[in-house]
Structure 1
Amino acid sequence: MTCRRVIALLSAAVVVSTIAACGLRPRVPSIAPPARGALFGAYVDPPRYTEKERIAAFEQFEGRLGRRLDIYHDYHTWTDPFPSDSDRHFTARGTTLMISWAGTDTRDIVAGRYDTLIRRRAEAVAALGRPVLLRWRWEMNRPNLASQIGSGTEYVAAWRHIHRIFGEADVSNVGWVWCPLTGGAADQNFGAYYPGDAYVDWVCVDGYPRSPRESFGQVFRPFVKWASGVPKPIMIGEFGRTEGPPGSRAEWLDAARDYVESTPQIKAVCYFQSARGVSGNYSVIKESDALRALRGWVTDPYFSP
Structure 2
Amino acid sequence: MKARSRAARTRMPVVGTALLAIAGVVATVAAGCGGGAGAAPKITTTARAGVAPVPPEQGAYFGAWVPEGGGTPSASASPSESPSDSGSPSDSGSPSESPSGKDAGKPGMAPVAGFEQRLGRRLDIVQSYRGWKSDFPGGLEKSVADGDRYLLLTWDGGDAREIVQGEHDDLIAKRARAVKALGKPVFLRWSRDMDKSSEQKRVHSAADFTAAWKHLREIFKRENVDNVAWVWCPTARGFNGANAGSYYPGDDQVDWICADAQPGADYDYRDLSEALKLFTEWARGRHKPIMIAEFGVPKSYGPRRAEWLREAAKTLQDPQVKAVVYFNSDEQAKNARDRRRSYSVTGDTHAISALRELATTPYFNPRNLPVTSGG
**Aligning the two structures, in what range does the TM-score lie when normalised by the shorter sequence?**
0.7 to 0.9
Q: Match for residue 270 of structure 1? A: 325
Of the candidates 351, 358, 375, which is equivalent to residue 290 of structure 1? 351
- Does structure 2 conserve the Cα–Cα contact (< 8 Å) formed by 1:28 and 1:130? no
Alignment root-mean-square deviation, CA? 1.7
What whole-Å deviation, never above 9, does each CA across 1:154-175 have from its counterpart, x for those lacking one? Answer: 0000000000000011111000
Shift in Å, 1:275: 2.2
Of the candidates 16, 35, 43, which is equivalent to residue 65 of structure 2? 43
- Does structure 2 conserve the Cα–Cα contact (< 8 Å) formed by 1:138 and 1:179? yes
- Does structure 1 conserve the Cα–Cα contact (< 8 Å) formed by 2:238 and 2:244? no
Letter in 2 for 1:36: Q
Q: TM-score, normalised by structure 1?
A: 0.88
Shift in Å, 1:213: 2.3
Q: Would the alpha carbon gap of residues 115 and 304 (structure 1) be closer, same or farther in structure 2, given more than 3 Å must change?
A: same
Q: TM-score, normalised by structure 2?
A: 0.72
Letter in 1 for 2:331: R
Superposed, 1:229-240 pairs within 5 Å as 229-240=285-296
Shift in Å, 1:67: 1.0
- Does structure 2 conserve the Cα–Cα contact (< 8 Å) formed by 1:141 and 1:187? no
- Does structure 2 conserve the Cα–Cα contact (< 8 Å) formed by 1:143 and 1:185? no
Which runs of 4 or more aligned residues in structure 1 lie more than 3 Å from their structure 2 counterparts after TM superposition? 184-188
Q: Match for residue 342 of structure 2? A: 281
2: CA distance between counterparts of 1:28 and 1:123? 19
Whose Rg is larger?
A: 1
Shift in Å, 1:84: 1.1
Q: Match for residue 95 of structure 1? A: 149
Q: Would the alpha carbon gap of residues 186 and 92 (structure 1) be closer, same or farther in structure 2, given more than 3 Å must change?
A: farther
1:170 aligns with 2:224: yes
Q: How many residues align?
A: 278
Superposed, 1:48-127 pairs within 5 Å as 49-51=83-85, 52-53=87-88, 54-127=108-181
Q: Match for residue 41 of structure 2? A: none
Unaligned runs of 5+ in 2: 1-48, 72-82, 89-107, 334-339, 367-375
- Does structure 2 conserve the Cα–Cα contact (< 8 Å) formed by 1:62 and 1:69? yes
2: CA distance between counterparts of 1:136 and 1:225? 23
Q: Would the alpha carbon gap of residues 185 and 193 (structure 1) be closer, same or farther in structure 2, given more than 3 Å must change?
A: closer
1:181 aligns with 2:235: yes
- Does structure 1 conserve the Cα–Cα contact (< 8 Å) formed by 2:239 and 2:245? no
- Kindly, what percent of the aligned residue pairs are identical? 41
Unaligned runs of 5+ in 1: 1-26
Shift in Å, 1:28: 6.0
Higher relative contact order (CA 8 A, sep 6+): 2
Q: Would the alpha carbon gap of residues 245 and 198 (structure 1) be closer, same or farther in structure 2, given more than 3 Å must change?
A: closer
Q: Would the alpha carbon gap of residues 245 and 187 (structure 1) be closer, same or farther in structure 2, given more than 3 Å must change?
A: closer
What secondary structure sits across from 1:284 in the alignment?
Answer: coil
Of Structure 1 and Structure 2, the greater helix share is in: 1
What secondary structure sits across from 1:37 in the alignment?
Answer: coil
Superposed, 1:150-169 pairs within 5 Å as 150-169=204-223
Shift in Å, 1:39: 0.3
Q: Match for residue 184 of structure 2? A: 130
Q: Match for residue 363 of structure 2? A: 302
Shift in Å, 1:180: 0.1
